[in-house]
Amino acid sequence: MKIAKLQTHVLAAKVDKPIHFGAGTYDTFTATLVEIETSDGITGIGECIARRAPRVVDTVVRDLLWPVIDGRDPHDVERLWDAMFGVLRPWGHYRGFVFEGMSGIDQALWDILAKEKGVPIYKALGGADRATVPVYGSKVYTDTPEQMAALAKAQVEKGHRAVKIQIGRSAEWGGPKADLEVARAIRDAIGPDVRMGADANSAYDPDTAIAAGREFAKLDLWFMEEPVFPDDLEGYERIKRGQPVPVAAGESEFGLVGFRELFRRGVLDVVQPDVARIGGFTAGMRLGKLVAERNLAYAPHTGFSCGVAQMASLHLAAAVPNLSRCEWMWIDNPLSQIFEEPLPQQNGGVIAMPQQPGLGRDLDRDKLERYRLR
């Protein structure tokens, strides 16, 4: 069996109600999907994170990475991962668009291997082999404290046992003091037994994060996510030392290089890689070993992604050691419903793993055309 054909889909979907969060305002979901077909006619799909300029990732996949894997044996998936990484590594490229492109290709190759075996991806990956995956509902985005508390309570009433809330409010929304007001309102609404994480999306500076964390601790905060910019490693060190709330991050890291430095500095409690950015399943599983060695919590990230990445995150969560919970988005994202059938839903805070071969969902070709960026 050889890798024979490539097709990509660059997608964009605008929403009526923009989402407000620490990094700004978001009103258009974008994604780049990768379809790879083998000489035996097996097709695998994967997703590359494409927060901005999705056609850039498309070019990376087609012009830079496809020549590395064209005609190769998909069973050599880990060696192909290393070969793609090696294309630009000698010139210092170990982050960014290249890794996002690698992520989609790697997912598609594992989808092929799972379909060939007639098993779901998580079983092809080996590892923990979980039949169900605990999830946390995401996310209670910036609004009035009353609206945010009501939304969180409604999701808990639907069965969620853990939720994530948005902090990092701009001055327009009341700033850090309003973050504390929001967190108190939500904790009161959901009660003491539901886990509550908070995501700043890098909106704080270290001093603000330390002061906020000391107050959040009184509310039994599960974690404080990305309090400062991903490259502010000294800031992460100060925050970890200066306040008691567990620190979470990882969605902005690529491959394993950045994670190794975070581990060396001892700044993370909850590790949150995104399968569509870190380098796909191969990198996600390699990271899982490092997380387990350090006895940290593994909590795969999803976000403003297409449904392919959400499903891939679920499979990764079912396979890795030291799983805490997988993020599961409830937001109104048209691209999350890119399949012929809906995404699986939580029941009592867990999702039963799909048992169909591969990813477990088939792309809706009409929706691909509807959202294609032309």
Nearest by Cα to 249 from 289, 195, 200: 200
Nearest by Cα to 77 from 49, 50, 117: 117
CA torsion through residues 40, 42, 43, 46, sign: negative
The two beta strands, 24-38 and 43-48, are antiparallel
Nearest by Cα to 110 from 3, 256, 9: 3
Instruction: Find where tokens 């190794």 sit.
Output: 260
What phi and psi values does residue 311 have, to the nearest 5 degrees? -65, -40
DSSP E strands in 49-143: the ranges are: 132-140
Q: How far is CA 84 from the centre of its chain?
A: 21
Query: Is 315 tagged catalytic?
Result: no
CA 104, CA 110: separation in Å to the nearest integer?
A: 10
CA 107, CA 182: separation in Å to the nearest integer?
A: 38
- With both helix axes pointing from N to C terminus, report the angle between 257-265 and 280-293 in degrees, rounded to the nearest 10: 20
Catalytic-role residue among 20, 75, 93, 301 = 301
What is the set of active-site residues? 301
